[in-house]
Amino acid sequence: MSSLVTRGLALALLSCLAGPTVVAGQRTEQELLQHLDTLVPLLRSAYERRLAAKEAAQLREIEKQIPTEAVELGPLNVLVVPGEQAAALDVIGRVWAAEYAPWLDASPTLSESRIFFRWASPEVSYRSMSFAVRHVQGSRWRSRDYMEEGVRRVIGDFLKNDLLGTRLETEWFVSSVGPPADPADTYRRVASVPSHSARDCLAGDASACLTSFGLGADEIPVEAWYNRGERYLLVRRNWARFQFRGGFPCIERDYDSCDGALADHWDRFRSAQARSWAVPFDAEVRASLLWFALREGGTGAWGRLLAHADDTPQAALEAVSGIPGTELAAAWQRWLVGNRPTRQAGLGSLALGALFWTTLLIALAARSTRWR
């Protein structure tokens, strides 16, 4: 009996001694976790500072190895290597004076950024720790048109950054800001859209042009853009959107199911941004109207656009151009038709070439030879 009591007392004593040890161990673990939670952000911050310092050192080394000189053209800040100022003024100056100076007065992005211009071999990767840089570079054998297109691309990218987050950018996205590279291609895009409103626009209906741009009303029914057969083509072209939402019967030419799939999509995604894929005139064509409005607006047009970029897209375009929406669409339509691709009548160059070689071969075959 005494042995049992002794054992019991021993077990009780051990439990009393072990209890504080377990509690102390748990407390120590919790404290370590708390310390780790505190240390991890500090370590991450130190790592990020180290990376930033390393990148800054690399950028300083790049700036040291590639000396540059500044050239200013309106709001454009251009960096060139010594000896290329004349080429930069010639190429960039021509593009700026002819295509941007009439309406581009100031730009927040342009004031904080630089264009690095180099028309020589080899091309280099210039960066700076003080400002954003975009490159216009080409080997010496590159054509002037190639370099000018690079200038347009860079300026357009900078100007698009001015619009980021605005209502105009989210609801009426455009591919670029600036003159179309090929107005004839814009015409082809409009003419190839399977949409009755697009065809009416080409025929001269300015209201149909506004509708095809997705302008003129907050809610434009899909029927205003596409007839029954065209809605089938719309679903088929955007098959990925509808393959799990009633699109299968539509592909089998069940037109009622096409309308049902479209209606379901509109109910699910009601924002203008979500519907922009269905607007007949795509981002390239919309960009041509934005550029046309800026050109018509003239001096200060870009500043007015930024001031009205959170209005409705149509209101912004009207404020920029100073022209009511229907009149602006009519003027753009006349410009578009004026840039219609020319069609050649009669024999084309391939047919003429074939005729020439056929005639030549017949003439040679008709000559008398010793093998005849």
Query: Does the pLDDT value for residue 39 go beyond 60?
Result: yes
* Distance between CA atoms of residues 287 and 189, nearest Å: 12
* Distance between CA atoms of residues 194 and 123, nearest Å: 44
Q: Are 352 and 329 in contact (CB under 8 A)?
A: no
pLDDT tens-digit profile of 231-278?
Answer: 888 888 877 777 656 666 777 777 788 888 888 777 776 666 667 788
User: Please, what is the average pLDDT of the chain?
Assistant: 81
Share of the chain above pLDDT 70, in %: 73
pLDDT tens-digit profile of 148-204?
Answer: 999 999 999 999 999 999 999 998 999 999 999 899 999 999 999 999 999 999 999
Tokens of 237: 């072209």
Sign of CA dihedral 249, 250, 256, 258: positive
* Distance between CA atoms of residues 198 and 281, nearest Å: 8
The residue extents of the domains of the chain are: 69-162, 183-225+279-338
pLDDT of residue 368: 55
DSSP 131-157: SEEEEEEE-TTS-HHHHHHHHHHHHHH
Query: Does the pLDDT value for residue 144 go beyond 90?
Result: yes
pLDDT of residue 143: 92
pLDDT of residue 58: 53
Look up the pTM and report it.
Answer: 0.74
pLDDT tens-digit profile of 276-332?
Answer: 788 999 999 999 999 999 999 999 999 999 999 999 999 999 999 999 999 999 999
pLDDT tens-digit profile of 191-237?
Answer: 999 999 999 999 999 999 999 999 988 788 889 999 988 988 888 88
